[in-house]
């Protein structure tokens, strides 16, 4: 089981996966041997990247801990059970999703499958982009800053424009492509609602890709923008003040990027992130990218060994953009064409955020993966249930999305069909 954030907290393996169905027994109770690690260091605080000043601690975090923990666990399993596991799976989200991609890219022999949720596979690119966003947000004494109330208004205006495009007014935008086509209109609506030019620039920046003037690992030259204009509530990114006087007043991703740039890129505790310019740190960025980013659009070794992957991202992820997973999936699609589906299925879940949101998805993906690996039969017609309500929806494989059929209970998956954009 993968970790999260900057890790440093022990993953005991005793809990459920976040996506496991409500009241489902834990994987341990279901007969799995479960394992996790603290990623090789002990956390000092929530967004604290200072551990990375130690090269070995950083290498452990980047990926070495995965192999070390795997091999140690196998030795313990062998000593206790006198046998090896029949299958080995990785399951994780966010940083844990990045770890899952590291695991199957670097050690394909070690895993038969991986459930990967909203992976931060573009860890360094994301930090640079979040820094760009923060600089734009706080420019000119924060004249473009978005207050919590204004952020709620943005979300309502987006919903008004796009909620019903999928046939159901359920505060979820399932037709995200249709919604993206309305971005210009939404920006006009925002201007009409009183948002200033500076604020509109901030919103555009957060929702725009960032292009780099040089190549990161695996020839990556850009990172996608956020999906606020398709329904993501990114309010936590704006922090609590237009002129923050302490670290905690900054937005969550401003804090993340500050620590990554300081301790993983520049390796300088005194770096002033507010004047960071990526072009002045090309070599350091490339080194860190190579170490930390499992962005390789090639899973052939894992595929050849029979490995399977359900990849999941919510359309309204507040802190890791779904367009990042879409970019990665499209690159894989370029390589594997319609054979990609034979070993990797990508589900984009409307209304689902970074493990929370309007629709807090659950599905027994561990069983689905186990059955897929054991029998070779790929999952079909999956249904997801909201953890906080009685709502269900079909899980549609990207790029298809769940459209309401027009009759019957809007809460029930059976009244939706996965349609192509």
From the list 240, 279, 78, the residue with the least C-alpha distance to 147 is 240
How many Å apart are CA 25 and CA 14, to the nearest integer?
11
Q: Which is nearer to Ca ion, 135 or 183 (CB)?
A: 183
Q: Which two tokens stand for residue 223?
A: 């990172």
Cα separations (Å) of 46 from 41, 42, 241, 324?
13, 11, 20, 24
Of the pair 176, 295, the CB lying nearest Ca ion is at 176
Q: Which helix (H) or strand (E) holds 310?
A: strand 309-314
In the bound complex, what is the minimum distance in angstroms from residue 169's beta carbon to Ca ion? Answer: 6
Applying CB under 5 A, does 166 fall inside the site for Ca ion? yes
In this complex, which beta carbon is closest to Ca ion, that of residue 158 or of residue 203? Answer: 158
| Shortest reach from residue 166's CB to Ca ion, in Å | 4
Taking the CA atoms of the chain, what radius of gyration do you get in angstroms? 21
Distance CA(392)–CA(358), nearest Å, equals 12
Return the structure tokens found at 347: 């589900």
Binding Ca ion (rule: CB under 5 A), the pick from 99, 163, 327, 386 is 163
User: Shortest Cβ distance from residue 389 to Ca ion (Å)?
Assistant: 15
Could you say whether residue 95 binds Ca ion (CB under 5 A)? no
Q: Are 199 and 140 in contact (CB under 8 A)?
A: no
Is there binding between residue 327 and Ca ion (CB under 5 A)? no
Give CA–CA dist 83/68, Å, rounded. Answer: 19
358 binds Ca ion (CB under 5 A): no
**Shortest Å distance, C-beta 188 to Ca ion:** 21
Number of residues that bind Ca ion (CB under 5 A): 5
User: Does the footprint of Ca ion cover residue 396 (CB under 5 A)?
Assistant: no
Q: Check residue 233 for interaction with Ca ion (CB under 5 A).
A: no
Nearer to Ca ion, 108 or 399 (CB): 399
Per CB under 5 A, the list member of 35, 58, 146, 168 interacting with Ca ion is: 168
Q: Least Å distance between CB 162 and Ca ion? A: 8
162 binding Ca ion? (CB under 5 A):
no
CB 43 within 8 A of CB 9: yes
CA atoms in the 13 A half-sphere facing the CB of 228? 28
- 213: tokens are 């003037």
Cβ proximity to Ca ion, 142 vs 178, nearer residue: 178
* Residues found near Ca ion in the complex (CB under 5 A): 163, 166, 168, 170, 172
């Amino acid at each position: 089981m993968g970790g999260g954030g900057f890790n440093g907290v022990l993953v005991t393996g005793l809990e459920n996966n976040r996506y496991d169905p409500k009241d489902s027994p834990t994987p341990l109770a279901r007969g799995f041997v479960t394992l996790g690690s603290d990623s090789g260091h002990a956390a000092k605080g929530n967004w604290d990247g200072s551990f990375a000043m130690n090269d070995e601690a950083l290498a452990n975090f980047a990926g070495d801990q995965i192999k070390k923990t795997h091999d140690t666990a196998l030795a313990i399993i062998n000593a206790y059970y006198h046998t090896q596991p029949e299958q080995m799976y990785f399951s994780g989200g966010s940083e844990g999703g990045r770890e899952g991609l590291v695991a199957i890219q670097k050690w394909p022999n070690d895993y038969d499958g991986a459930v990967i949720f909203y992976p931060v596979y573009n860890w360094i690119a994301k930090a640079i982009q979040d820094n760009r966003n923060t600089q734009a947000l706080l420019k000119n004494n924060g004249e473009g800053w978005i207050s919590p109330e204004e952020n709620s208004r943005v979300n309502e205006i987006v919903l008004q424009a796009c909620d019903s495009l999928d046939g159901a007014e359920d505060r979820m935008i399932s037709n995200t492509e249709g919604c993206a086509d309305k971005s210009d209109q939404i920006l006009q609506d925002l201007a009409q609602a009183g948002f200033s030019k500076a604020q509109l620039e901030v919103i555009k920046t957060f929702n725009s890709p960032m292009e780099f003037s040089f190549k990161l690992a695996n020839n990556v030259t850009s990172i996608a923008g956020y999906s606020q204009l398709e329904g993501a509530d990114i309010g936590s990114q704006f922090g609590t003040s237009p002129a923050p006087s302490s670290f905690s007043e900054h937005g969550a991703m401003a804090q993340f990027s500050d620590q990554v740039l300081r301790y993983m890129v520049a390796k300088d505790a005194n770096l002033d992130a507010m004047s960071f310019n990526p072009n002045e740190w090309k070599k350091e960025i490339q080194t860190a990218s190579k170490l930390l980013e499992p962005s390789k659009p090639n899973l052939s070794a894992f595929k050849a060994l029979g490995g399977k992957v359900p990849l999941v991202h919510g359309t309204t992820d507040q802190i890791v953009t779904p367009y990042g997973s879409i970019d990665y999936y499209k690159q894989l699609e370029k390589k594997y064409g319609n054979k990609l589906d034979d070993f990797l299925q990508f589900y984009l879940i409307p209304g689902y955020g970074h493990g929370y949101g309007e629709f807090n998805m659950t599905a027994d993906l561990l069983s689905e993966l186990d059955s897929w690996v054991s029998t070779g039969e790929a999952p079909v017609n999956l249904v997801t249930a909201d953890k906080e309500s009685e709502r269900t929806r079909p899980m549609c494989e990207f790029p298809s999305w769940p459209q309401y059929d027009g009759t019957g209970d809007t809460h029930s998956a059976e009244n939706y069909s996965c349609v192509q954009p």
